[in-house]
Amino acid sequence: MLLTSSSIAAMPSRDRAALINSISGFKPANLVGTADPDGHCNLAIMSSVVHLGSHPPLLALIVRPGDEERHTLHNLLRSGHYSINHVAEDMVEAAHQTAARYPRQTSEFEATGLTPVWWEGFKAPMVAEAPVKLALELREHQHLAINGTHLVIGEIVQAEIPSGCVNEDGSLDLSAAGTVALTGLDSYHRADLMKRMAYAKPDLPPRTLP
């Protein structure tokens, strides 16, 4: 099947959304935790978290258009804090359910049975069940002119990762941590490690790490 701009534009909107949402490849499955100034919690699944830089440690997140009705965006712009929590296999049902449009006063933690945990001095809840928990401070927010989405850039200021899941070179073994991957808006995948490759150099062939 060959797609063009016009055939994509002519697709029924639900089909187009499903296709384009999965066409970029496997994505991370994360729960974004926030709170309003009164401490009311919000939790939403988001797959658009992307690495932006390591020093400082920055992650970017894309939030759908709309301001007030986007509880995550509204809360993090006010508090300057949000958490990013990996989804593990036994959390998939609850994590997916956080996408439902609950009223602002409803906490998705209560609605789904996930457990909020507060870290000292941090104004957003972490998800107790998540194998990897990241606390982020908002560093930049851009309302993108191209389609009204929001680019949210945050710095990791604290993180909890499972002991035994850090490789010798410092990288995180996500399969060992039990983190799942996502495609589109509904498909959750187990991530099995296939192989690791050595740093690529022009004068050497591809080499598998032992």
Ligand X SMILES: Cc1cc2nc3c(=O)[nH]c(=O)nc-3n(C[C@H](O)[C@H](O)[C@H](O)COP(=O)(O)O)c2cc1C
**Nearer to ligand X by C-beta: 20 or 99?**
99
CB of residue 143 to ligand X, shortest distance in Å:
13
Name the minimum Å distance from CB 207 to ligand X. Answer: 35
Taking the least distance from each CB to ligand X, the nearer of 71 and 123 is 71
Q: Give whichever of 41 and 135 is closer to ligand X, judged by the CB atom.
A: 41
User: Quick check: 65 and 147 in contact, CB under 8 A?
Assistant: yes
Contacts of 89 (CB under 8 A, 6+ apart): 178, 180, 188, 190
Closest contact distance (angstroms) between CB of 72 and ligand X is: 3
Q: How far is CA 204 from CA 13, 31, 196, in A?
A: 47, 40, 16
How crowded is the C-beta side of 7, counted as CA atoms within 13 Å?
A: 5
Q: What angle do CA 49, 110, 14 make, to 5 degrees?
A: 50
Task: Report the interface residues with ligand X, using CB under 6 A.
Answer: 42, 44-48, 62-64, 70-72, 96, 99, 101, 182, 185
Q: Identify which of residues 185 and 197 has a Cβ nearer to ligand X in the complex.
A: 185
Cβ 31 to ligand X shortest distance, Å: 9
